[in-house]
A and B are shown apart, each in its own frame.
Chain A
């Protein structure tokens, strides 16, 4: 080989598997972010909707008698935690949509013809994208609720908020990606998202504490994963020293500590990823 051009390798076979995996995951993630930047309506709607909740719902009960809520919290501050969680949750629930469209329009087939190091990179890219998007939207809500006077957690509190949201987002992203492969089309997926969204919000402690609820609903709410995310975040907003060992939820079946809330979310995330794993293996085989 005398020509300098000919010495450039055609295919980067000598690049390691990890570098390959990083390259393909990065490229797929980049595509999703390019879509977001050029079509930002998802991002904007995802911030506007919880913001409207926060403003309207917060105002609805702003004249409730003081001392009604646990810890003497104002309703706006109480609601803040719920809306932050709702934002992250809705975002994660939509994780499967881009994948579903790729399935339907045949773009996924284009990806599958390429010699991907692991087809899991398609899933990784979705998880990276939706996690960043959901956290970004939640941060926007955190910032706005601070601006309208609903408070701001401490540094440790903020770390707890982020950790909690991360676990929640992972769990529901897994669920949504699983649905995106299990359901026949985007209409069905949107229907499931639509049906799941509000009931899960209402049957949680996002809008009202357990003590306001009839006993059957308080059972539902204290089994709802959203509640396990809302309570640690609410504790982070409550001010004062943060004690994860302390009781955060007085559930009908007993007291639940902060650690237990986080463990439930962690197990849920791991469990859901394990649950969808065989499906992904089959669909991406």
Chain B
């Protein structure tokens, strides 16, 4: 049984339609990545999962429970780490965790044992008894992760957990997420960092403009959407005539989708191919035409290639497109009760 089942979710903020029929299924025990540029609908999706928002249409199931009918039961099963960490600056980290434990109705003894355990796992020993107002971004995020995990939820949902963090905090968080997955906790994280999803996720969905536009394991997505990349140089510096000749020779080869002459790289050839066997077929073809091979390398496409193919723009371009379009103040207001 999947831990998360979202079906045809729609959500609008006034005239802006944030989610346009988003569907998502996350299997149990999976570390699931939600990739998309800012403004794609990741945060809205996660806020709906955390029972902070009700969708305008669609169904939300978490751990087999209907989140719209039994939000309280869902809250017991779910740990939520928000993007903008709201903490009480005047309390110490330990007091924040104790408060959190009480709100989840943990017994004091068990609560304190859990806190001790999380102090160890997240390296919070030296600063947890300081007031939260003095914390760095990384400390805050670790504290927030700890409060999300305090009640041992079967599902942990994180909204851009490592944005703007130092390398050490990021690696501590990555390590913990991997560990959690090994222990059977289902983890859903949103990110607009390709490397993060690539490094962590078992499965992923690409979200763009309020919909899921691609879903699967990172490898599947690359295979399905991107094909493989092959870079070919017949000699170190070729010329236009020869490159064009090779292009015409290779284009009909079975499994070759596209051949592009890269003028900027000494007239090398960039190919998009399907499957592993294409390389040997290319070699045969080149041998038959008695052409030399200076370099021939095959590589998997990156997630960026996948994103590019799915949306027609790179993730970077998508990010740039929404800069200045989003009104942070308005968004904060819309999340206010």
Do A and B belong to a common assembly?
yes
Whether the Cβ atoms of B337 and A110 lie closer than 8 Å is no
- Say yes or no: is B103 at the interface (Cβ < 8 Å to chain A): yes
Instruction: Pick out which of these stretches binds chain B: A62-70, A99-107, A143-151, A227-235.
Output: A99-107
Q: Mark A161-188, 1 if CB is under 8 A from B, else 0.
A: 0000000000000000000010010000
**Across the interface, which residues of A come within 8 angstroms of B129, CB to CB?**
none
Whether the Cβ atoms of A283 and B337 lie closer than 8 Å is yes
Nearest-neighbour CB distance to chain B for A88, whole angstroms, equals 25
- Say yes or no: is A27 at the interface (Cβ < 8 Å to chain B): yes
Whether the Cβ atoms of A27 and B337 lie closer than 8 Å is no
Q: Mark A233-258, 1 if CB is under 8 A from B, else 0.
A: 00000000000000000000000000
Give B336's nearest chain A residue, CB to CB.
A103
- Say yes or no: is B66 at the interface (Cβ < 8 Å to chain A): no
Nearest-neighbour CB distance to chain B for A19, whole angstroms, equals 8
Whether the Cβ atoms of B104 and A11 lie closer than 8 Å is yes
Whether the Cβ atoms of A11 and B80 lie closer than 8 Å is no
**Across the interface, which residues of A come within 8 angstroms of B100, CB to CB?**
114
Whether the Cβ atoms of B86 and A106 lie closer than 8 Å is yes
A26-44, CB < 8 A from B:
26-28, 30-31, 34-35, 38-39
Residue among A8, A34, A35, A109 having the largest count of chain B Cβ atoms under 10 Å: A109
- Say yes or no: is B322 at the interface (Cβ < 8 Å to chain A): no
- Say yes or no: is B326 at the interface (Cβ < 8 Å to chain A): no
Whether the Cβ atoms of A8 and B103 lie closer than 8 Å is no
Number of residues on chain B facing chain A (CB within 8 A): 36
A1-20, CB < 8 A from B:
8-13, 15, 20
Whether the Cβ atoms of B102 and A27 lie closer than 8 Å is yes
**Across the interface, which residues of B come within 8 angstroms of A24, CB to CB?**
102-103, 105
- Say yes or no: is B125 at the interface (Cβ < 8 Å to chain A): no
Chain A contact residues, majority secondary structure:
helix
**Across the interface, which residues of A come within 8 angstroms of B313, CB to CB?**
none
Whether the Cβ atoms of B102 and A106 lie closer than 8 Å is no
Residue of B78, B88, B151 touching A10 (CB-CB under 8 A)? B151
A residues sitting closer than 8 Å to B (CB atoms) are 8-13, 15, 20, 23-24, 26-28, 30-31, 34-35, 38-39, 103-117, 181, 184, 283-284
Q: Which 9 A-B pairs have CB atoms at the shortest separation, nearest pair first?
A: A27-B102, A106-B86, A114-B103, A115-B75, A107-B86, A115-B76, A113-B80, A20-B105, A12-B105
**Across the interface, which residues of B come within 8 angstroms of A103, CB to CB?**
336-337
Q: Mark B289-308, 1 if CB is under 8 A from A, else 0.
A: 00000000000000000000
- Say yes or no: is B84 at the interface (Cβ < 8 Å to chain A): yes
**Across the interface, which residues of B come within 8 angstroms of A106, CB to CB?**
82, 84, 86, 332, 335-336
Give A37's nearest chain B residue, CB to CB.
B90
Nearest-neighbour CB distance to chain B for A33, whole angstroms, equals 11
Instruction: Pick out which of these stretches binds chain A: B37-45, B91-99, B194-202, B211-219.
Output: B91-99
Nearest-neighbour CB distance to chain B for A168, whole angstroms, equals 28
Beyond A8-B109, A30-B99, 9 additional contacts (C-beta under 8 Å) are A10-B110, A11-B76, A23-B102, A31-B88, A31-B95, A35-B88, A106-B336, A114-B104, A184-B333
Q: How far is the CA of A181 from the CA of B78 in the complex (A)?
A: 27
Q: Mark B105-117, 1 if CB is under 8 A from A, else 0.
A: 1110110010000
**Across the interface, which residues of A come within 8 angstroms of B263, CB to CB?**
none
**Across the interface, which residues of A come within 8 angstroms of B76, CB to CB?**
11, 115
**Across the interface, which residues of A come within 8 angstroms of B52, CB to CB?**
109, 112-113
Q: How far is the CA of A169 from the CA of B220 in the complex (A)?
A: 64
**Across the interface, which residues of B come within 8 angstroms of A12, CB to CB?**
105-107, 110
**Across the interface, which residues of A come within 8 angstroms of B257, CB to CB?**
none
Whether the Cβ atoms of B104 and A115 lie closer than 8 Å is yes
Nearest-neighbour CB distance to chain B for A117, whole angstroms, equals 8
Residue of A9, A34, A283 touching B110 (CB-CB under 8 A)? A9
Nearest-neighbour CB distance to chain B for A215, whole angstroms, equals 45
Nearest-neighbour CB distance to chain A for B92, whole angstroms, equals 9
Given the known inter-chain contacts A9-B110, A10-B152, please indicate yes or no for A109 contacting B86, CB distance below 8 A. yes
Given the known inter-chain contacts A9-B110, A109-B52, please indicate yes or no for A115 contacting B105, CB distance below 8 A. yes
Q: How far is the CA of A23 from the CA of B103 in the complex (A)?
A: 7
**Across the interface, which residues of A come within 8 angstroms of B110, CB to CB?**
8-10, 12
Give A181's nearest chain B residue, CB to CB.
B337
Q: How far is the CA of A11 from the CA of B78 in the complex (A)?
A: 12
Nearest-neighbour CB distance to chain A for B85, whole angstroms, equals 8
Whether the Cβ atoms of A27 and B99 lie closer than 8 Å is yes
Q: How far is the CA of A11 from the CA of B80 in the complex (A)?
A: 17
**Across the interface, which residues of B come within 8 angstroms of A23, CB to CB?**
102, 105
- Say yes or no: is B223 at the interface (Cβ < 8 Å to chain A): no
- Say yes or no: is B51 at the interface (Cβ < 8 Å to chain A): yes
Nearest-neighbour CB distance to chain A for B190, whole angstroms, equals 16
- Say yes or no: is B224 at the interface (Cβ < 8 Å to chain A): no
**Across the interface, which residues of B come within 8 angstroms of A109, CB to CB?**
52, 82, 86, 335, 337
Jot down 22 A-B pairs with beta carbons below 8 A, ordered by A: A8-B110, A9-B110, A10-B110, A11-B104, A11-B151, A12-B110, A23-B102, A24-B102, A26-B102, A31-B88, A34-B95, A106-B335, A106-B336, A107-B86, A109-B86, A109-B337, A112-B52, A113-B51, A113-B75, A113-B80, A184-B333, A283-B337
Nearest-neighbour CB distance to chain A for B20, whole angstroms, equals 24
Nearest-neighbour CB distance to chain B for A271, whole angstroms, equals 24
Whether the Cβ atoms of B72 and A108 lie closer than 8 Å is no
**Across the interface, which residues of B come within 8 angstroms of A104, CB to CB?**
336
B5-44, CB < 8 A from A:
none
